[in-house]
């Protein structure tokens, strides 16, 4: 869940920044509004799946509403100033806006649509959760919900798959992530007598630099403990290796994570949640269903 306030919370901070009457570039206005609201570091660091910072999107949505309402003006490209209406609004609502008040005040400036009987009506019938978000953020959040659902199914299928299939799947994932070079040098070697190693990735053509892989297809709740990671590190030492990746469809205990962080060999642990997130990101076991394109005004075209 996002810790960034919804767009109405940024209305008064935007007006505060412009209150002195100065004209500011959009970037300075966004930064100033975030400072005025005393937005925390974690909130500023929160990003959208589509890229960009969530707080910038939400401040941008507040700026859009204020511009439509005439509370702020755009004297030149990407520059904003407060209007007389904006000063009045700031005086009238010094306590700021929650969603209900923001919707009530700015609704008259939202686009209209016509129903079947040609009677104008405001676009207020859409669920509230949609109205809170910038359209780009709506798309990003929608994609996030789809990926969450796909991730659940993907993890379920991996847990139900044959061990050989799962071992090959994780090798395919690492190759898709760029390990193994352009020649895709990666091999599944799981089976009896594998020495505790399920796959190997050659980082160079001669195999001088190798990454060893172990994959455990466990059900939810069957978390990997320190002893298992310790055995994997021992297997790496048996191959004279210093780097390994341990992937599982379950999770790791705190002791296992601590051990991996402190051991001399470089061992990366990837649990079930991160595994499916990487598979979705690098399109392993999933495919693109449909592509949408978002457009915006090309300001350079009109200059």
Tens digit of pLDDT for each residue in 127-181? 343 345 566 767 777 777 788 889 999 999 999 999 899 999 999 999 999 888 7
Q: For residues 187 and 174, what is the distance between their CA atoms, to the nearest angstrom?
A: 11
71 and 20 share one domain = yes
More confident position, 298 or 13: 13
Q: How much is the pLDDT for 194?
A: 57
- For residues 174 and 127, state if they share a domain: no
Asked which of 58-67, 136-145, 232-241 is least confident by mean pLDDT, the reply is 136-145
Mean pLDDT score of the chain: 84
3-state secondary structure of 245: strand
Does the pLDDT of residue 116 top 50, yes or no? no
Q: What is the mean pLDDT of residues 38-63?
A: 88
Same domain, 67 and 25: yes
In this structure, the answer to whether residues 129 and 170 fall within a common structural domain is: no
Within a domain: 144:
no
Number of separate domains in the chain: 2
- Assess whether pLDDT exceeds 90 at residue 33: yes
Residue numbers of the domain that contains 273: 162-281
Q: Are residues 122 and 185 in the same domain?
A: no
CATH of the domain at 122: 1.10.10
Convert the pLDDT of each residue in 174-230 to its tens digit: 999 988 877 778 888 866 555 678 889 988 777 677 899 999 999 988 999 999 999
Residue 303 has a pLDDT of: 57
pLDDT confidence of residue 114 = 39
* DSSP 8-class letter at 109: G
Q: Is residue 109 part of a domain?
A: yes
* Residue 169 and residue 66 share a domain: no
127 and 178 share one domain = no
Residue 167 lies in a domain: yes
Nearest one of 68, 125, 93 to 13, comparing CA atoms: 93
Does residue 25 have a pLDDT over 90?
Answer: yes
User: Does pLDDT of 120 surpass 50?
Assistant: no
Q: Which CATH number is 224's domain given?
A: 3.40.1350.10
Tell whether 175 and 273 lie within a shared domain: yes
For residues 100 and 172, state if they share a domain.
no
pLDDT over 50 (residue 124) = no
Instruction: Kindly state whether residue 245 falls inside one of the protein's structural domains.
Output: yes
């Amino acid at each position: 869940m996002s810790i960034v306030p919804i767009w109405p919370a940024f209305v008064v901070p935007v007006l505060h920044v412009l209150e002195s009457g100065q004209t500011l570039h959009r970037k300075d206005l966004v930064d100033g509004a975030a400072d005025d609201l005393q937005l925390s570091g974690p909130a500023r660091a929160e990003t959208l799946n589509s890229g960009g910072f969530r707080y910038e999107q939400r401040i941008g949505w507040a700026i859009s509403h204020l511009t439509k309402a005439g509370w702020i003006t755009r004297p030149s490209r990407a520059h904003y100033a407060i209007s007389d209406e904006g000063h009045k609004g700031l005086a009238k609502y010094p306590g700021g806006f929650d969603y209900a008040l923001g919707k009530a005040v700015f609704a008259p400036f939202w686009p209209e649509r016509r129903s079947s009987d040609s009677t104008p009506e405001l676009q207020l019938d859409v669920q509230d959760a949609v109205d809170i978000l910038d359209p780009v953020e709506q798309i990003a959040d929608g994609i996030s919900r789809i990926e969450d659902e796909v991730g659940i199914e993907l993890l379920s299928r991996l847990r139900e798959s044959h061990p050989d299939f799962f071992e090959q799947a994780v090798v395919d994932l690492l190759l898709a992530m760029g390990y193994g070079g352009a020649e895709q040098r990666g091999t599944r070697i799981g089976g009896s007598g594998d020495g505790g190693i399920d796959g190997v990735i050659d980082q160079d053509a001669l195999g001088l630099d190798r990454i060893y892989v172990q994959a455990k297809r466990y059900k939810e709740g069957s978390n990997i403990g320190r002893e298992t990671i310790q055995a994997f590190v021992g297997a790496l030492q048996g191959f004279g290796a210093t780097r390994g990746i341990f992937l599982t469809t379950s999770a790791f205990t705190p002791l296992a994570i601590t051990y991996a962080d402190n051991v001399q060999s470089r061992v990366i642990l990837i649990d079930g949640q991160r595994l499916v997130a990487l598979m979705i990101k690098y399109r392993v076991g999933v495919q693109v269903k449909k592509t949408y394109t978002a457009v915006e005004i090309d300001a350079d075209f009109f200059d």
